[in-house]
Structure 1
Amino acid sequence: MRGVAGGRREAATGFEVAFLDPEEGEVRRRLEEVTQVAFEEASPVRAFPSYRGQRSSPGFYYAATMQAHVGFESWLERDEVMALDFDPDVIGFAAQPFWLFWPDTNRVRSHAPDFFVRHRDGTGVIVDCRPQERIKPRDEAAFAATKRACAEVGWQFRLVHGHDPMWRANVRWLAGYRHLRFRIEPVSSRLLEAFAQPRPLIDGVQSVGEPIAVLPALYHLLWSRELRTDLGSRLEASSLVARSRP
């Protein structure tokens, strides 16, 4: 697993990390010793079980960012994976990247964060997903410890409770066109020209060609952020669309 620049080297207070190294297998190190590990490429440290009567909804999402599948264990995690894939500042992410261990009174506690994310500037981010109403005292302690660990090595920590329903619905629609096969030429280049200035979605599409042939390319350009629109409102024919600034 290649090294990544960034991260402080201050001594961490009792935190250890266990992860799967492609050459050494399972390894366990002090937290301050793993700040250069590319956890955005890590294999999951535990499985994503699926069985009859299961309350959660595990699965795999194809991430266009890395052109690889990423596991999730709930709809909230699936939505967060999709949001990470849509974020232009994110260059990679992995699910269940490691076990974090820390001393707690007379025992050692452990927690496997939901995701490790790498931003374009090299920053590492730990993401945990849990609806607010489902957070128990044990969860609060685990999240607080994870946040402390992140602070000690220069990572960020985010606890995701949910996403705006309208934004989520729009991005989920666009995610259906995230694969590069939908960047159809010369249609895509003509769409970028058509939306050089803001105009209603359907007007720009019809100026390029038959909507049924042009819309897939338009949705891909919105997904890739080459075109922009207000995703906080319902995406429809009248939505104003414009070419993104470089």
Structure 2
Amino acid sequence: MVQELRVVDGEVAGPPLYGFAVAYIDADGTERRRPLADAWPVRFEDVAPVREFRSYKGQRHLPGLWWSSKAGGHIGYESWLERDHVMLLDFDPFVTGVSSQPFWLFWTSETGKAISHAPDYFARRGDGSAIVIDCRPADRRKPRDWAKFEATQRACELLGWEFRLVGAPDQIVVANVRWLAGYRHARHRLEPIASTLLEVFAEPHPLMDGAFLAGDPISVLPVLFHLLWKHELSVDVSVPLHAASPVSPEAR
């Protein structure tokens, strides 16, 4: 939960008095602005970013593009922290779509000041529910930021969306998922190797033992890592991956 904070530099800048509005760019490039209440049916997972991802000499963060296996295209990030989180969203089996900088959220503070904020990511789950994500290291969340995060959470609650304020993710999970992400493209799902692996791991086996049972590990392992990325097979990514990591059928 976002902490309650309403006074920033002597001025209230938290949740709005007069309501929210959103502005976004449709998939066809059309700019739109509407009241928040009218935004619920918008497919924000398909919108274009409302801000550019700028690169310049001497900047503190390293922006870039993440190729998403779910979107079949690139999703922008403004820092390596954001890159890690968009990668984890891409790996999440319940997430079906992701967009970066999906919309501007506008509101007017109780002092009459116009305020805006663009969250970092919007994610859609398979059941239609949605997540709005802001990425900020815990030691870099200033009072003015807290006020915007609080307001964004209120706006999400009005639409029944989940709001997440995230910092640095678990580095073991990140390292494991980054390895599997190297095999996220569909070109790594080769037959008949994939079907053989699914048969071999119908009963749990250590990772390398199962790979040897399926054939030559040089050709089998890329397919196995792809099936783990796609959650057709399962492995615990909260502990370091190694040759003896138990691989099993994905729970349905």
- For normalisation by structure 1, the TM-score amounts to 0.92
Taking a change above 3 Å as real, the CA distance of residues 154 and 180 of structure 1, as seen in their structure-2 partners, is same
**Which string of whole-angstrom CA distances, capped at 9 and with x for unpartnered residues, describes residues 169-212 of structure 1?**
00000000000000111001101111111111111101111111
Give the paired residue count.
235
Counterparts of 2:246 and 2:30 in 1: how far apart (Å)? Answer: 51
Deviation of the 1:152 alpha carbon: 1.0
| Counterpart contact for 2:65–2:77, Cα < 8 Å | yes
**Residue 11 of structure 2 corresponds to which residue in structure 1?**
none
**Residue 75 of structure 2 corresponds to which residue in structure 1?**
70
Given the alignment, which residue of 147, 156, 163 partners 1:150? Answer: 156
Counterparts of 1:73 and 1:176 in 2: how far apart (Å)? Answer: 21
Taking a change above 3 Å as real, the CA distance of residues 61 and 155 of structure 1, as seen in their structure-2 partners, is same
Given the alignment, which residue of 178, 196, 210 partners 1:172? Answer: 178
Counterparts of 1:193 and 1:118 in 2: how far apart (Å)? Answer: 32
**Residue 102 of structure 2 corresponds to which residue in structure 1?**
97
**Greater CA drift, 196-205 or 140-149:** 196-205
**Which string of whole-angstrom CA distances, capped at 9 and with x for unpartnered residues, describes residues 57-94 of structure 1?**
10000000111110000111101110110011111010
Aligned amino acid, residue 166 of structure 2: V
**Residue 235 of structure 1 corresponds to which residue in structure 2?**
241
**Which string of whole-angstrom CA distances, capped at 9 and with x for unpartnered residues, describes residues 102-143 of structure 1?**
111231110000011111111121111011011000110010
**Residue 141 of structure 1 corresponds to which residue in structure 2?**
147
Deviation of the 1:22 alpha carbon: 4.6
Structure 2: 5+ residue stretches without partners: 1-16
**Residue 162 of structure 1 corresponds to which residue in structure 2?**
168
| 1:220 and 2:226 correspond | yes
Counterparts of 1:22 and 1:241 in 2: how far apart (Å)? Answer: 39
RMSD: 1.3
Structure 1: 5+ residue stretches without partners: 1-11
- Counterpart of 1:109 in 2: which secondary structure? strand
- For normalisation by structure 2, the TM-score amounts to 0.90
Counterparts of 1:244 and 1:180 in 2: how far apart (Å)? Answer: 18
**Residue 39 of structure 1 corresponds to which residue in structure 2?**
44
**Residue 89 of structure 2 corresponds to which residue in structure 1?**
84
| 1:61 and 2:66 correspond | yes
Identity of aligned residues (%): 53
